[in-house]
Amino acid sequence: MPAMDSTRRRLRLSDAHISVLGLLVEEGEVPQELARAHSELRAAGILDDDDKIASELFPLVSTLLEPHVIARVELTGPQGTSTSGVVVGNDFVFAHEAWPGEPESEYVPVHPAMLVFELSRMVDLHQDDTDAEDIGEEIVSTMGVLDAIVDRMESDGADEPAAITEAVHAPARLTEILAQLNCMWRMTVARPGGEGHPDGLGLAGLAVWDCGIEGYWVREAPAEPIHEGQVEMSSELRVRRVTAKEIWQRITDLLPDQDQLLVDAPTPA
């Protein structure tokens, strides 16, 4: 169910609820398939009987309808895949964070200066204990081998890493680090003036494996962002061990500079 916490300016909304709000703002008809979401918004007090939107929602709705920068985080772990992210509008910034298995996400306002922290928190970026001599270690294989390892590890009665390595002809280190995998996550940012798109939106991305005691690994090939049909079983897989500090910097580099984030940000004197 949707919910609104006016004290902390928090909202719980599903994609269906967002669709209803967007249609109402644009004075469109709410189709039958969204009737339940429509009713839930009324029951939660987010809409009144005349479909007037609560004033607390106007900053969020205006931001979602005219996004300026969009950061999307797709995190895959033992509980499945969840999607979170950040939306930057003309005047406001909102983060949304999903809970595995739940249809709603929590939407909260964020100060622009806190964006890197917010995105890092979403992926549970934490200090690791990687030894200096291990930084930069590289593993090269193929996407087909990666899929084969993951399939065997997720099957009932999964084999030991050494047996999987032999069965799928994988690099031993690849199987070893995947045996410690906490999650894989991808972060994609659509932003103005991206590389090769000076007058439009460009895409930039980052893919990371959090392998617990084996540390953090950045997937450098295939490089993000990946487009549909781009990756095949024979495509090269290349991952490199990095520090949490480097990941923080890479997240920072995905975002525009602070003075470019908000369209209507005040101009320095």
Indicate if the pLDDT at residue 156 is higher than 50: yes
**What was the pLDDT predicted at 121?**
96
Instruction: Provide the residue count of the chain.
Output: 269
Global pTM reads: 0.88
Q: Which of the four pLDDT bands, split at 50, 70 and 90, describes residue 194?
A: low
Please state, for a pLDDT cut of 70, what percent of the chain lies above it.
92
CB atoms within 10 A of CB 94: 20
> Is 36 in a helix, a strand, or coil?
helix
Indicate if the pLDDT at residue 269 is higher than 50: no
**What was the pLDDT predicted at 263?**
54
Indicate if the pLDDT at residue 42 is higher than 90: yes
pLDDT digits (tens, 9 = 90+) for 205-244: 999 999 999 999 999 999 999 988 889 999 999 999 999 9
CB atoms within 10 A of CB 198: 9
